[in-house]
């Protein structure tokens, strides 16, 4: 008898009341995870980007001071 009562209670729920929870589970949370991943990727990419060419590094190695040669190498 208990199982029959549980089924009736579950069937009596309005399916529209669960729609926001389903939307959050399947769309909002994955969207936030993807957004955070993209932000981390772009952050590391901006830290690693370098605008100097290989020729500029070689010039620093050849004629730069002691503070510029080691980082250029």
Full-model pTM: 0.51
- For residue 37, report the phi and psi dihedrals to the nearest 5 degrees: -65, -45
Average pLDDT over residues 3-19: 60
pLDDT at 51 over 80: yes
- Share of the chain residues as helix, strand and coil, in percent rounded to the nearest 5: 85, 0, 15
Closest alpha carbon to 19 in 8, 27, 30, 11: 27
Higher pLDDT, 23 or 12: 23
Residue 2 inside a domain? The answer is: no
Higher pLDDT, 35 or 52: 35
* Distance, CA of 51 to CA of 9 (rounded, Å): 65
pLDDT at 11 over 70: no
Most confident of 6-10, 18-22, 40-44: 40-44
Residue 41 inside a domain? The answer is: yes
* Distance, CA of 73 to CA of 70 (rounded, Å): 5
Domain membership of residue 44 as a residue range: 18-72
Total count of domains within the chain: 1
């Amino acid at each position: 008898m208990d199982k029959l009562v549980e089924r009736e209670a579950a069937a009596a729920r309005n399916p529209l009341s669960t729609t926001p929870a389903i939307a959050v589970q399947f769309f909002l949370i994955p969207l936030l995870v993807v957004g955070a991943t993209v932000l981390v990727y772009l952050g590391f990419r901006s830290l690693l980007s370098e605008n100097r060419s290989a020729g500029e590094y070689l010039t620093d190695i050849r004629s730069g001071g002691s503070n510029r040669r080691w980082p250029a190498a």
